[in-house]
Amino acid sequence: MEQKHYVGLTDKQVEESRLAHGENILTPPEKESVWKKFLEKFQDTIIIILLVALLASLLVAFYEYFAEGGKATVFLEPVGIFIAVILATLVGFLFELSADRKFEILNQVNEDTLFKVIRNSNITEIPKKDIVVGDIVLLNTGDEVAADGRLLESVALQVNESTLTGEPVIRKSADEADLDHEATYPTYEVMKGTTVVDGHGVMRVEKVGDATEYGKVYQGSQIENKIKTPLNLQLDQLGVLITKMSYSIAVLIVIARTVLFFTRGVEGDMTQIIQYFLHTVMIAVTIIVVSVPEGLPMSVTLSLALSMKRMLSTNNLVRKLHACETMGATTVICTDKTGTLTQNQMRIYDTDFFSLREQRPGADESGLLIQEGIAVNSTAFLDHSDPKKPKVLGNPTEGALLLWLDSMGIDYLNIREKGEVIDQLPFSTERKYMATLVDSPLLKRKVLYVKGAPEIVMSLCKQVLGSDQVQEMSEIARQTELKLLGYQNQAMRTLGFAYRFIDDTNGVFENGKLMLKDLTFLGVAAISDPVRADVPEAVKETMDAGIAIKIVTGDTTATATEIGRQIGLWKPEDGEKNRITGPEFAALSDDEAFNRVMELKIMSRARPMDKERLVKLLQKQQQVVAVTGDGTNDAPALNAAQVGLSMGDGTTVAKEASDITILDNSFTSIGRAVMWGRSLYQNIQKFLFFQLIINVVACTIVFLGSMFGTSSPLTVTQMLWVNLIMDTFAALALASLPPNPEVMDRAPRKTTDHILTPYMRKWILVTAGLFILFLIGMERYFSVYDITSLTQFNLRDWFGSFVQYNGEAEVVTRYELTLFFTIFVMLQFWNLFNAKAMGGTKSAFANLGDSLKGFVFVLLIILGGQVLIVSIGGEMFSVTHLKPVDWLLIIVGTSPVVWVGEIIRLLKRKK
């Protein structure tokens, strides 16, 4: 292309433009400091409750230490809570930090790419960031467009706008007469971040950096999303519930003990009275501390962190912990088309070459004509850097033809290099065809090859090359038109092919036109961006799980609808109510759009802000929205959604705005993420079921002890140990359970649902009640009978002591306290199996082999840890050595906890 008449900017004009309009760089988002990221972890409601409990626990510890001459061990409880808080916050922080580092490596971009511009009347190359408004930039096939600008010249220019509109090939022209009124952006404008796939042109830069369309979308993607995740909301609910209940019990204790004090008559001096009431307040504070599930933040964080790590093996790179679980609550997925549902690579869908209706192009003359016609009459290339996945360089449509030859083992490049091109007419939108005159070494003749719009190519033909003989064109024209109509109804691109042997090469082309007719028609090819093979099944699985799917694309309505049909989302009987275009959607009022968003299945010709508006309207409908996207156009919606899912080969902007990056670009990986999220939530519920039973039992024991004037049979250090092994290790055990495919058979939970289901509440109270009765009975038996071995335990005496107990506090031995402590732990040990199977009908021992490194290993640690503490804990833990026979009796005697659970689950299975 001749550019001598373009002068371009002078050096002085460049500086003036840069001062007036800025540099061609995107303002990066302000990075949060590491400390700020860490401190944000303390904003969680449960963590805040824990911090209050930590303060209260410190008050109790100081009171016991100074007022009652306690030992330094009284500070173990606040130390334990402090460690729980730090671990729960630190684990999540470190995992997110690690993910950020992986993401930065994945998302590296080179801003120093050189671009050809005209300055001072010379063509020169400068980095992208140095381009300014007013620069004249040369565009060639394969070039990225560095800024927004207006075309000054264009020849057969086609641009891949998928980063902004989802459209892989858009025709561009400097001639305003060629304006396509359906195009998202004017035909005579090219936009930053798009790529030239064919032809060449010259543009004048009109916008750079943040002012470009790409920049506007990038800035929109940085707006902070304040929407809380479903788990955040449910844990906030739980925190409020725990706070209300613990404070209510604490107030009840203060009132009850005050009433008891005055009804018994005031005794002692003022110091004793003050000490009594101070002790009462400390008991109330202890109740608050005991009621808080210290292990819950750890359980949630561990579950999220383990899932975050494991999901990477299923091609889901999770950047933000909450995204793991939020995927499980997703009710709507807004997906783009190109690259997510389709392969983002044009392919031959079908061919109808009349001489090859039942065979591939071979070594016969008709086969060689097709091979050479495709190979020579083309400007595209294939990059075989990855032999398993050749990459198209140039026009995607021509590339699809080359890939078709390549799939049959035909080397297009060898054919192209052997043939001598005598003359060529490049494709243009005016002609709608491309023609190449070649001296063919394969056919030993000069051949004219033509390909283009089938109706244009057929109008140049007189006859058809059939498998048996040359037939008149009129005989098959109607048949071909019907076939083409079928392809076009499926939103496919079609090409027609023709040839003619040439003896005299003079006058074949004149004034940019083909002067010959009477060509021989070879046939047609239908080209499409095919649906990924795994998508229809993945979409079905997702919809069966109760999740609505909506296609949002910049492509045409016909193409979007056909893709919707192929993946099983849209049916012809759905009609127009389920489809809308971006401009139509933008024209709707907020109320009208609000009323339509749930029924929509396909939005075509969508612009970036249309998709974002759709997401926000769905959220107003109390929907949990996940958005998939790989282009800059998807970034605002990715950021606005509860979960943004970018593709591994997507743009920098899309990945920056997302929470999860799908490394293999597969919709199937999205289904796996949903399964992981639902399983993770289920594991958190299992931990809550297990933990709250312990808390209810512990609170009740402290409450009853305070009401009847006795001390708790569990010491502070013993309670700390229970918290350590039961909170932390139980969290590990339940968090390490593998995902359960059965969760995909259920509907998504509602954001208004409480994390404690009615089923959970019922069985927490029933199980805790039975444990409390058993433990109180044990304590009463120990108070009445001084036993030296558990083998002396008599069930009849136990019932008798429980009924006849006169309410007077008796001193129990350390051996008996050790028994009580160990029995308490073992009841929870066995109940961990019930927690594992909670809510289902499967046996608690099912799939234990899959959990050897997780659940079973943690169980062994809990059991081994209890044996170790009892054996060497001594004075610090107020324990003494137990005999092997005692251990056997305790383990066997407490095991009915799981056997009763197994019977209940068996009866459920029978039903």
- Which residues are catalytically annotated? 336
Cα first-last separation, the chain: 80
Phi, psi (rounded to 5 degrees) for 516: -95, 150
Residue 813, classed as helix, strand or coil, is: coil
3-state helix, strand, coil in the chain (%, to 5): 55, 15, 30
Which one, of 877, 699, 847, lies nearest residue 286 by Cα?
Answer: 699
Q: Give 531's DSSP letter.
A: B
Residue with tokens 């959970």: 760
| Tokens, residue 159 | 């641009």
Q: Report how far Cα 238 is from the mean position of its chain's Cα atoms.
A: 25
| Cβ-Cβ contacts under 8 Å for 500 (sequence gap 6 or more) | 447, 448, 516, 518, 519, 520
| Tokens, residue 300 | 């949630």
Residue with tokens 């139509």: 584
Residues 92/301, Cβ–Cβ less than 8 Å: yes
CB atoms within 10 A of CB 526: 22
Query: Residues 658, 660, 665, CA angle at the centre, nearest 5°?
Result: 100
**Distance (Å, whole) CA 622 – CA 638:** 18
Which one, of 452, 378, 454, 460, lies nearest residue 419 by Cα?
Answer: 378
Phi, psi (rounded to 5 degrees) for 586: -65, -30
Q: Give 29's DSSP letter.
A: P
**DSSP per residue, 57-109:** HHHHHHHHHHHS---GGGGHHHHHHHHHHHHHHHHHHHHHHHHHHHHHHHT--
* 843 CB-contact burial (10 Å; exposed 0-12 / middle 13-18 / buried 19+): middle
Which contiguous run of DSSP H or E holds residue 296? helix 295-311
Query: Residues 304, 239, 693, CA angle at the centre, nearest 5°?
Result: 80
Query: Residues 665, 670, 673, CA angle at the centre, nearest 5°?
Result: 130
| Tokens, residue 703 | 């409450």
Q: 896-905 burial, b for 16+ CB within 10 Å, e for fewer? A: ebbeebbeeb
Residues 814/880, Cβ–Cβ less than 8 Å: yes
The amino acid that residue 797 corresponds to is D
**DSSP per residue, 435-476:** EEEEEETTTTEEEEEEEE-HHHHHHTEEEEE-SSSEEEHHHH
* 533 CB-contact burial (10 Å; exposed 0-12 / middle 13-18 / buried 19+): exposed
| Tokens, residue 807 | 């309410």
CA distances from 557 to 483, 569, 597, 712 (A): 21, 14, 17, 72
**Distance (Å, whole) CA 432 – CA 454:** 9
Residue 124, classed as helix, strand or coil, is: strand
Which one, of 137, 146, 129, lies nearest residue 193 by Cα?
Answer: 146
CB atoms within 10 A of CB 874: 13
* 552 CB-contact burial (10 Å; exposed 0-12 / middle 13-18 / buried 19+): buried
Q: Report how far Cα 307 is from the mean position of its chain's Cα atoms.
A: 12
